[in-house]
C-alpha cells in the first residue's frame, strides 16, 4: 500500500537513533514480538467470530491496541458508494458508539462521489477511492484534505486530532469493502501524541488484510445462509400454495416451534432440565420446522384437497343428489300412471258407479299418501348422504349401515340400465369413520413424512444442521409408538423432534383453512391437545411448558382469527395441573 504523508523517522515510539544499548535492543525486540503475537491473536479471534457487530468492533479495538491509538473509526462500503460509520471510539473522551454498545452512530454516511466527481477532499473517501493507506503526522498541517469537520469537533469537545492513519480494507478479490481509520498514536510511557510509525502502519495494514478476509468470509456465510433460508422458505411457500387448504401451515409451524423451544430451554421439567440449546441448535430447529412438510411436493392435490368424502376432481355428492331427483321423478311418474288407471271411466249401474268412485277416491288418497311418504323418505336420505359426505370426528356403525341400505335402492342410469343407487366406491368413501380420507388416501398423505426424510438425508447439511432430517421427519411420531413412519417411542425421539410434533398438532387444530373441519376455538383445541397428552401422543413435559408459558395465548393473539380466541380455563384442560 502507498503512503500519502510519511511519519517522522523513528522505528518505534520513544526510541532514539544511535543510542540503543543492548538492553534497549532486547526491549525493542521483545516489544515487537509482543505486537506480532498480539496481531496473531487478533487474527485468530477474527476467524472464529459469528456476530457481525462484535467482529467489526474487534477489528477496530485490535487496531487501536496494536498502534496505541486514542481514537478510531471503522467504515464499511455501501452499495450506494458511501462509507457508513460502523464503529466509533475515542478513549480520552469516553466515546463508544456502534458495534455491541447499542449506541447508534448518528453521523451521515460519507459520499465517495459528489456531483459525479470523486470526493478526494475527505481522507477516508480518498483512501477508499485510491485504495491506498494515508498516514498523516499532523492533520492541522496537512494539505489537500478538508478537515473542517474535524476542527469543529475538536473545538466543541476541546480535543486535538493530530495524527491520522487511514487504511483501506480489501477482500480476497482485491475489492474495497471498508476503511479503517486510527487517530492520535500515543507514546506508551508518556501518552504524548505522536505520528503513526512505519511499524504502526505495517501492523495496521496487516490487521486490515486479515480483517477484510474475516469480514468477507462472514458476509459470504451470511449471504449463503440467507440464500439457503430463502430457498427452503420458497419450498414451504410452494407447498402451501399447492393447496388452498394448507396455506400458511409451513410458515406457522416454525413460529410455534421456536416459541416452544425457547420456553423449554428455561424449563426444569423431566429431561428438559438438560435442554440448553445454543443459538445454532435453535436455528437447526427452525430450519427443520421450515422443511418438515417438504415431502408433500409428491402428494397428489386430490388427496391434500379432499374436503369431502366423495370429492375427486369434483364432489360426486352432487351426482348422487341428482339420482335422488331421478328417484323422486320416477315415484311421481309411477303415481301419475296409477292415478290415470284409477280415473278410467266406470261401467255398470249408477249404484255400481258410486261404489267404484268411492273406491277410486280411497285408493287415490292412499297413492298420494304413499307418494308423499316416499318423497319425504328420499329427501331425508338425500340430506343424510349430504351430511355423511362431510367428514366428522366419528361415524357410528349404525350410520354406516344406513348408507349401505340406501345403496341398495335401484335407479335407471342415463342409458336406461338399472343399477344399485350407490357404487361400491361411493359406499366405501361415504362410510369413512373419521375425516374425509380413505385408508389408502391416508397412507398417501402419511407417506409425505417418509418422503421428507428421504429428501433431507440426501442433502449435505453442515454440522450445525445435521439433525434436521431426524427432527423434521419425526413430527408425526407419538410418545407411545403409535405414530408414523417408524413408530418411535418417546425415548427414541430427540427433544427438538418432540417440540416439532406439538407445534404441528396445535397448528393443525387451530388452523382455519382445513377442508375437512371448521376452525376450532382456542379452548377446544387445548382440550384436544390435553387428551392427546393423556393418550401419550405428545410429550407431557412439553405440553406442560406449552400451557404454563402461555405459548398458546401468544400464538393466538398473533395468528388466530379473533372469533377463535375464547376464554381458556386452564384448570379444565385435560392432563394439566395449574
pLDDT in tens, 103-135: 999 999 999 999 999 999 999 999 999 999 999
**Fold designation for 22-221:** Beta-Lactamase (3.30.450)
Measured between alpha carbons, how far is 272 from 172 in angstroms, rounded to an integer?
A: 45
What is the chain's Cα-based Rg?
40
pLDDT digits (tens, 9 = 90+) for 256-315: 999 999 999 999 999 999 999 999 999 999 999 999 988 888 888 778 778 888 888 788
pLDDT in tens, 318-334: 999 999 999 999 999 99
Given phi > 0 = left and psi -120 to 50 = alpha, else beta, which region is 487?
left
What's the grid cell of residue 50?
459469528
Same fold, 22-221 and 243-296+440-572: no
The arithmetic mean of pLDDT across residues 549-574, rounded, is: 94
How far is the C-alpha of 316 from the C-alpha of 514, rounded, in Å?
A: 20
**Whole-angstrom Cα distance, residue 188 to residue 207?**
20
Contact (Cβ atoms closer than 8 angstroms) between residue 437 and residue 306: yes
Q: Single out the residue of 100, 123, 118 nearest to residue 183, CA to CA.
A: 123
At 178 the three-state DSSP class reads strand
Query: With 50 as the cut, is the pLDDT of residue 5 above it?
Result: no
Tally of CA atoms within 13 A in the half-sphere of 53 that contains its CB: 9
pLDDT for residue 515 is more than 60: no
Q: Which residues sit opposite 2 in a β-bridge?
A: none
- Cα–Cα distance, 166 to 179 (Å, whole number): 7
**4 pLDDT exceeds 50?**
no
Q: Are 83 and 59 in contact (CB under 8 A)?
A: no
Percent of all residues in the chain with a pLDDT value above 70, rounded to a whole number: 89
* Confidence check: pLDDT of 572 > 90: yes
pLDDT of 435 reads 86
What pLDDT sits at residue 392? 79
Confidence of residue 44 (pLDDT cuts 50, 70, 90): low
State the virtual CA torsion across 110, 116, 120, 122 in degrees, nearest 10.
-20
Q: How far lies 116's CA from each of 37, 85, 119, in Å?
A: 44, 22, 9
User: In degrees, to the nearest 5, what angle opens at C-alpha 176 toward C-alphas 171 and 222?
Assistant: 55
Residue 14: pLDDT band with limits 50, 70, 90: very low
Q: Can you tell me the distance from the alpha carbon of 235 to that of 229, in angstroms, rounded to the nearest whole number?
A: 10
Quote the pLDDT of residue 31: 62
The secondary structure of residue 243, as a DSSP letter, is -
Mean pLDDT of all residues in 501-530? 86
* pLDDT bracket for residue 53 (50, 70, 90): confident
Strand runs labelled E in 187-300: 193-194
CATH topology of domain 243-296+440-572: Hypothetical protein af1432 (1.10.3210)
Interatomic CA distance for residues 490 and 247, integer angstroms: 30
**What confidence score (pLDDT) does residue 8 get?**
37
- Is residue 576 within 8 Å of residue 544, measured between CB atoms? yes
Phi first, then psi, for residue 392 (nearest 5°) are -135, -175
CA distance 83 to 66: 24
Which residues, other chains included, contact 546 with Cβ-Cβ below 8 Å and sequence gap of 6+?
260, 263, 502, 506, 529, 552
DSSP 478-515: -TBS-SSSS--BGGGS-HHHHHHHHHHHHHHHH-S--T
DSSP helix, strand, coil percent of the chain (3-state; round to 5): 55, 10, 35
**Set of cell numbers at residue 568:** 381458556
Q: Calculate mean pLDDT across residues 516-536.
A: 89
Q: Residue 45 pLDDT > 80, yes or no?
A: no
Which residue from 346, 319, 295 is spatially nearest to 459, judged by alpha carbons? 295
Domain map (residue ranges) of the chain: 22-221, 243-296+440-572, 317-434
Whole-model pTM: value is 0.70
- Classify the phi-psi angles of 41: left when phi > 0, otherwise alpha if psi is within -120 to 50, otherwise beta: alpha
Predicted local confidence at residue 6, as pLDDT? 41
Instruction: Please count the residues of the chain.
Output: 578
Residue with cell 463508544: 96
Helix axis angle for 22-48 and 198-242, nearest 10°, is 10
Neighbour count for residue 181 (Cβ, 10 Å): 23
**Whether pLDDT at 13 is above 50:** no
pLDDT confidence of residue 30: 65
Amino acid at each position: 500500500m502507498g503512503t500519502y504523508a510519511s511519519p517522522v523517522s523513528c522505528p518505534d515510539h520513544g526510541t532514539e537513533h544511535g543510542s540503543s544499548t543492548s538492553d534497549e535492543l532486547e526491549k525493542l525486540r521483545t516489544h515487537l514480538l509482543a505486537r506480532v503475537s498480539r496481531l496473531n491473536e487478533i487474527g485468530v479471534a477474527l476467524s472464529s467470530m459469528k456476530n457481525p457487530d462484535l467482529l467489526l468492533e474487534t477489528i477496530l479495538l485490535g487496531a487501536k491496541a496494536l498502534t496505541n491509538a486514542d481514537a478510531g473509526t471503522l467504515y464499511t462500503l455501501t452499495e450506494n458508494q458511501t462509507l457508513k460509520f460502523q464503529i466509533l471510539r475515542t478513549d480520552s473522551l469516553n466515546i463508544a458508539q456502534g458495534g455491541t454498545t447499542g449506541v447508534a452512530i448518528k453521523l451521515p454516511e460519507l459520499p465517495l462521489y459528489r456531483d459525479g466527481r470523486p470526493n478526494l477532499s475527505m481522507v477516508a473517501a480518498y483512501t477508499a477511492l485510491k485504495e491506498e493507506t494515508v498516514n498523516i503526522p499532523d492533520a492541522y498541517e496537512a494539505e489537500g484534505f478538508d478537515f473542517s469537520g474535524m476542527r469543529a469537533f475538536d473545538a466543541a469537545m476541546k480535543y486535538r486530532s493530530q495524527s491520522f492513519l487511514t487504511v483501506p480494507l480489501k477482500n480476497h478479490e482485491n475489492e474495497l469493502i471498508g476503511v479503517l481509520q486510527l487517530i492520535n498514536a500515543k507514546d506508551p510511557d508518556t501518552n504524548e501524541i505522536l505520528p503513526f510509525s512505519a511499524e504502526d502502519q505495517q501492523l495496521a495494514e496487516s490487521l486490515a488484510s486479515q480483517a477484510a478476509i474475516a469480514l468477507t468470509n462472514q458476509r459470504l456465510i451470511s449471504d449463503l445462509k440467507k440464500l439457503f433460508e430463502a430457498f427452503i422458505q420458497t419450498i414451504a411457500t410452494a407447498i402451501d400454495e399447492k393447496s388452498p387448504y394448507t396455506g400458511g401451515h409451513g410458515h406457522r409451524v416454525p413460529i410455534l416451534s421456536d416459541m416452544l423451544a425457547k420456553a423449554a430451554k428455561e424449563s426444569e421439567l423431566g429431561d428438559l432440565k438438560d435442554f440448553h440449546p445454543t443459538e445454532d441448535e435453535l436455528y437447526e430447529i427452525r430450519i427443520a420446522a421450515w422443511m418438515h412438510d417438504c415431502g408433500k411436493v409428491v402428494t397428489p392435490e386430490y388427496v391434500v384437497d379432499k374436503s369431502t368424502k366423495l370429492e375427486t376432481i369434483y364432489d360426486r355428492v352432487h351426482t348422487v343428489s341428482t339420482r335422488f331427483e331421478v328417484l323422486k321423478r320416477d315415484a311421481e311418474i309411477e303415481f301419475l300412471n296409477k292415478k290415470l288407471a284409477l280415473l278410467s271411466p266406470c261401467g255398470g249401474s249408477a249404484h255400481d258407479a258410486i261404489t267404484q268412485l268411492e273406491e277410486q277416491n280411497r285408493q287415490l288418497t292412499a297413492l298420494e299418501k304413499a307418494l308423499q311418504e316416499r318423497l319425504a323418505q328420499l329427501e331425508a336420505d338425500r340430506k343424510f348422504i349430504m351430511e355423511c359426505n362431510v367428514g366428522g370426528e366419528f361415524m357410528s356403525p349404525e350410520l354406516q349401515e344406513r348408507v349401505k341400505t340406501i345403496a341398495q335402492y335401484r335407479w335407471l342410469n342415463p342409458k336406461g340400465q338399472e343399477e344399485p343407487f350407490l357404487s361400491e366406491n361411493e359406499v366405501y368413501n361415504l362410510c369413512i369413520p373419521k375425516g374425509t380420507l380413505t385408508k389408502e388416501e391416508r397412507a398417501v398423505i402419511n407417506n409425505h413424512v417418509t418422503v421428507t426424510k428421504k429428501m433431507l438425508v440426501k442433502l449435505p447439511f453442515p454440522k450445525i444442521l445435521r439433525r434436521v432430517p431426524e427432527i423434521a421427519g419425526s413430527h408425526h411420531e407419538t410418545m407411545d409408538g403409535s405414530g408414523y413412519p417408524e413408530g418411535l417411542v418417546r425415548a427414541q425421539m430427540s427433544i427438538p423432534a418432540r417440540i416439532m410434533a406439538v407445534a404441528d398438532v396445535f397448528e393443525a387444530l387451530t388452523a382455519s383453512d382445513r377442508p375437512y373441519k371448521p376452525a376450532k376455538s382456542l379452548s377446544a383445541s387445548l382440550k384436544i391437545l390435553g387428551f392427546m397428552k393423556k393418550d401419550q401422543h405428545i410429550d407431557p413435559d412439553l405440553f406442560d411448558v406449552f400451557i404454563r408459558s402461555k405459548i398458546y395465548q401468544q400464538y393466538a393473539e398473533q395468528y388466530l382469527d379473533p372469533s377463535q380466541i375464547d376464554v381458556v380455563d386452564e384448570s379444565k384442560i385435560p392432563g394439566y395441573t395449574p
